[in-house]
Structure 1
Amino acid sequence: MSTRITSDDVAHVAQLARLELDPAQVELFTGQLAAILEHAEDVEALDLADVAPTSHPYPLVNVLRPDEVGATLPNAEALAAAPQAEGGRFRVPTILGEAP
């Protein structure tokens, strides 16, 4: 991968992506992309023969508690803090062009 990226390469990719870059931006992005590619070369050079493939570096477990039926808030108490209530339910503004 040791090929160095040039400003012509950056300008070409920008054109393909339909991006309009001024010369200062092309130079800025050339340096940034060169640094990214150098880092990719460093990673590619690592000896990973003895490293097992993983989808995540740490073993994951479900950290959620199981659902359990418990006491609920009485309807009147829940609606007491609502800005508007109607018919035992929360009243919310209409959406999607529905008539009130």
Structure 2
Amino acid sequence: MEKTATLNLRVNPKVKERAEAVLSRLGVPMSTAIDMYLNQISLTGSIPFSISLPKAPDTINVDLMTEDELHAKLQKGYDDIEAGRVQNAEKVFAEFRKKH
């Protein structure tokens, strides 16, 4: 089938870079991977993978906690703050972004 249509899209540069690294190892050009993705959408009539929100582990899912369990976890957090067992959130997120 002749390829004459052009897509112009914006993506996160880091996501693109990581995807290109994987595709390079597979020997698949980015344009071919996108063509494969679009073909699967047209063949299946849906996105070809499951899309869902991540499920919170039961140990931190407030909806599954009793009031006493919630208060105990909150108290532990306050105790950690008082004892200096804390981390700078900005630094933690920056490190996370570097790794992911």
Greater RCO between the two (CA within 8 Å, min separation 6)?
A: 1
Which structure features the higher share of helix residues? 2
